[in-house]
Structure 1
């Protein structure tokens, strides 16, 4: 290759332009080959099974992924491709935080970093396309994945949707266009991330008002408390309860001061809830009552303190369900009155119940109602509908960029990732056993 062509080819590769193997090229024999290809382009078809998809199919998949600017990757491999630790090794070698779909022979499975897509969402997507013909299956998977995945495409993919490659002689004519297009794609990714960061800051500012109200209310409870550790009758258990409540108050203030993203607020409300339960224990000890069981706070307003019972409640236009309530709200419901519901600013100059004020309040509510109970409590409300979507996942607030470990979708984390995201989640796809096309065991 002449020097000018060598330089141009290197530039094309740097901006993600794929160089296709000639029809007679040898099939991929290891994961490294697949990973190298996916670093440059989101769709890879092994030469041994190149008739599985047409070039138009490949171009369409590539265009869908790149136009959506999402970290979604697809590989089509022969049925005898080694399966042991395939997903873990593929993720390690590409280093890309993203979603990985693999069609192996006639079977299909997928994995993803939980920061980009929840395990439940991956399972649902994989199951929904099981048994479909190759082109339809991958098209349906990609369409759904780009709508659900969080983050942006890696900058190494550059721009454009052609994964079919071109002869070296065509590089001269395409070089300038690809280089300029690659720079434009990189700028687009940066703009998207700046926009997402701005959305995160706006959501955090909205939450900060509500959380500061909670911290202030808890501090006022502590100020009103007529307990002194050295008072007559105080024992070590009471002093421990009191100390835990004070520690929780300090933690809540520290966590809020350090919060950088909306999901960081969960730690604040968790600390406040721990502190309020400590005060409930202290009150019971001082009054000689049985110690209360650990229950969720009052659903209508966590500032009411721990709930004492579950009561039936029907939101406007919704279905009845049981929610944890404080004694005062339980009495109101029995008397046919409305409970005292926490309202928050919607940003439109009005205050609404927090469960009808939009997804920004998910992290705040998630800290109070942990253990997976919140989506059920909120079913049929605005916030509940958002949490039920695959994009919001089960991690409250992840819709605002909870890309654990500091990495976002499309970032290059190398081998720094949670391998459990890429393990066998049991029945998530054909590779886990029982799916059409073969049982590939638990090596993934």
Structure 2
């Protein structure tokens, strides 16, 4: 009976996806000239009338009973819930990222509530609470835990709306603890190592400009308020507007893509012009070629900032191996160059000896920049490279499992085996 039910579930899921694909061919897609903000306003307008938005590409392929279940479970919660189901690809206006959808739709709708988005071809929901007092505690993991349990309960043959409905059902019940898994993702680390001074973090010009502008604006506002009423007032803490933060993040990704692509081309030409060597020189030359090839593979298929940084790390490894090969061919020695910071390679190179980082009873040595080492010494969380759900190391991909290659002997080989997508 269980086998028959499993086959039935798989057939149902497969039929749903097939119908969605067929009907999507007959639906007029979003206009190519739409901006991300315009598309977000379009979705927000629909959500104002119906808290469940399903893109036309999937509407005909989703049975009414599944839609009703999502609406009913969402309405049972004590706060507003907005659900978005739409196709996401790297070439769409949202760059295929659920976080872009959430940020821009919340900014367009301007209503409190729990916003949930899921790719109609996937089953993993993303969420963001906007001005919901019940979910305001940053240390409250009820959303994360409920989503994990929903994914566990529904099984891999369930569609996205089934997972979301179960997610809402669990949120309406007792608070759940984390899912008990054998391989728990690494959480916030603590340090038992020492701290050395070193290079500061690398900051792009656009971030400096935005921060400087906000500081000046804050000073002007503060001076004006001092000249007014002397009565003490409690003001809401200032924060960068979501659309500005999103613009900064998009520009950072664009610049990193441009710089990494340029380095890939430049280093490729240099490697092609490098004469063949023997012995240790040949070993470094081959290592540079392998890392360069792996970086190109990651860059071509990159879906988010973490992938881009993975390509950058591989290119940095290729460049260091290339410099060693050139030095050996010229009969000179090149000083070892420290690797990039394991917590956030965008911070720059590590300083001092590797730091012993403890997590769940395991201690691993990681190269860290001065800023991250100081943070661990103070007992605070380092400014990690952000992933889909918090620090990137909360994931279970190759970058998270190896801290961008620092816990494996051969990152390029792992990439060429496709492990960065497992």
- Higher Cα Rg: structure 1 or 2? 1
Which structure has more RCO (C-alpha within 8 Å, separation ≥ 6)?
1
Task: Give TM-score scaled by structure 1 length.
Answer: 0.30
